[in-house]
Structure 1
């Protein structure tokens, strides 16, 4: 587990208040150290609750995305973002508020590798380059995500968990917006100018209008669809039936502003792993 600096804890955990100058002057060194340790323990427990497996299974980690329609793509973007076309999302769905965290990945995948040697199991269930329970899981292939989904679905007989389609992802990212971003990029995204060269804990930036965090930046997010070089004149909402590459969306911690746009598309082989690519869940009733 990556050490969590107490200064970062104070800066980011809303339940912790900065002590007053008088309190600091009166505190004994030993008492301050014990208090700091207690705060750190509580903060880590809070992060585990918010971004752990329970938040998936009890539904608290999901938001409701309404049915509707939108214009998918960008007239001023890259060729594979065209033509702009109308897409109908005929049924509402629930989408993860956050990118899947390392705590969630490990909670599911350690069971998948329970019969593997301990060292190998730990490596398989903790694949991320940047370590931390509330950081997004990354360095996972599209196929490995499918294994995660199979394991997660086996634990819940009420809902089916899956990746969003490309159309569902862009619809949810836009949340009714029509521009390049769903808000102000610096307020919503970790990207090349502010990430410090690494992923950041999920949910620390502003959400979009539908309550989704980190749809721009932090890590690219695998989606269900195969990649096509353009949308075609009558692109179905489900995407092409086959292909060589899988799509990911949203930009990552190293991305330029242009590559964090709502319409931008990335793609690669489904067996490939990158420290800038993770994923987000959708769930629907079984």
Structure 2
């Protein structure tokens, strides 16, 4: 992007920020959403990559919640099946933002006013868990409203449908697997825990999100924090009918979750396969991760054409 284009983008985001009551900084390909200290919850929308933008402390939480989202461009990858040699070529046709970590207890408390987590003593920087799929949908709609985005879900009793929107939502299982494939492919060196001296030893609980192993772009928590709800309905034996932006079975009674959790390493947990579960099911090792479509108002400064390779 040229300096002229950067200036125009900065001006656009600044004007948008003034309209929404936000301050906007435009310096990279990572979304950061910071809580502003006001009577009502307001947020700063920041795009940053390599600068420290932690907000001032507030009386609400020890550390205000910070949302960081990594941009992944469109691409194609091989989705492996459960049988040896089974794979489908899947295309994600539009780039999207995905949370660098799972949603934290701190952010959930600010948006929902409660904390359903079993491990509350872990702290605000730990992943929220023991949330149902339905509760996650309500949280995402409310988070979208706080930032002035259109809600992604219409909810009528338990009938939930995905809308084409610019707000926050759950990833589809294909998007989650695409992100995992991209992150693991691009992590060229051994993953590290940057804050190891600040992290407690692995125990029978999730632990703070920043203590999870870091991959490319600072992405964390793929297989050692909590499993994560996805949008898809699950149907036994179902295979994708579309290989472009698949969204799972057209209906069902259970929803898919992806990823390993801290439970995989604890003798306290019953070991077994990751299976889908009911929308009102809750477990102390299941949370969620944010996804957001990339719109014309928040497109990153630099496209990366190597996603999925």
TM-score, reference length from structure 2: 0.59
- Structure 2 distance, partners of 1:207, 1:171, is 17
Give the number of the structure whose residues are more often helix, by fraction.
1
Deviation at 1:208, TM superposition (A): 2.1
Query: Is residue 97–residue 291 contact of structure 2 (8 Å, CA) maintained in 1?
Result: yes
The residue correspondences of 1:136-147 to structure 2 (distance < 5 A) are 136-147=127-138
- Structure 1 distance, partners of 2:210, 2:137, is 24
Query: Is residue 82–residue 231 contact of structure 1 (8 Å, CA) maintained in 2?
Result: no
Instruction: Pick closer, same or farther for the CA change 1:155–1:275 going to 2, 3 Å.
Output: same
Query: Is residue 83–residue 231 contact of structure 1 (8 Å, CA) maintained in 2?
Result: no
Query: Is residue 61–residue 106 contact of structure 2 (8 Å, CA) maintained in 1?
Result: no
The residue correspondences of 1:217-228 to structure 2 (distance < 5 A) are 217-228=224-235
Q: Which of 190, 208, 212 lines up with 2:215 in the alignment?
A: 208
Per-residue Cα deviation, 1:195-237 (whole angstroms, up to 9, x for no partner): 3111110022332224311111210000111113345274542
2:151 corresponds to 1:160: no
2:93 corresponds to 1:105: no
Q: Please, which runs of 5 or more residues in structure 1 have no aligned partner? A: 1-40, 111-124, 189-193, 258-263
Alignment correspondent of 1:34: none
Deviation at 1:248, TM superposition (A): 0.7
Alignment correspondent of 1:11: none
- Structure 1 distance, partners of 2:222, 2:247, is 20
Per-residue Cα deviation, 1:128-185 (whole angstroms, up to 9, x for no partner): 010110110000100010110121121122440000000000110121646xx99868
- Structure 2 distance, partners of 1:90, 1:200, is 35
Q: Secondary structure at the match of 2:94?
A: coil
The residue correspondences of 1:1-286 to structure 2 (distance < 5 A) are 48-49=63-64, 52=65, 55-56=66-67, 61-74=68-81, 78-79=82-83, 83-110=86-113, 125-131=114-120, 132-158=123-149, 159-175=166-182, 177=184, 195-230=202-237, 232=239, 234=241, 236=243, 237-255=246-264, 265-285=274-294
Q: After the TM superposition, which parts of structure 1 deviate over 3 Å for at least 4 consecutive aligned residues?
A: 44-47, 181-188, 233-236
- Structure 1 distance, partners of 2:98, 2:115, is 23
Rg comparison, structure with higher value: 1
Instruction: State the superposition RMSD in angstroms.
Output: 3.3
- Structure 2 distance, partners of 1:167, 1:205, is 23
TM-score, reference length from structure 1: 0.63
Instruction: Pick closer, same or farther for the CA change 1:265–1:84 going to 2, 3 Å.
Output: farther
Instruction: Pick closer, same or farther for the CA change 1:176–1:141 going to 2, 3 Å.
Output: closer
Q: Please, which runs of 5 or more residues in structure 2 have no aligned partner? A: 1-55, 150-165, 195-200, 267-272, 296-309
Query: Is residue 140–residue 169 contact of structure 2 (8 Å, CA) maintained in 1?
Result: yes
Query: Is residue 139–residue 278 contact of structure 1 (8 Å, CA) maintained in 2?
Result: yes
- Structure 2 distance, partners of 1:82, 1:230, is 17
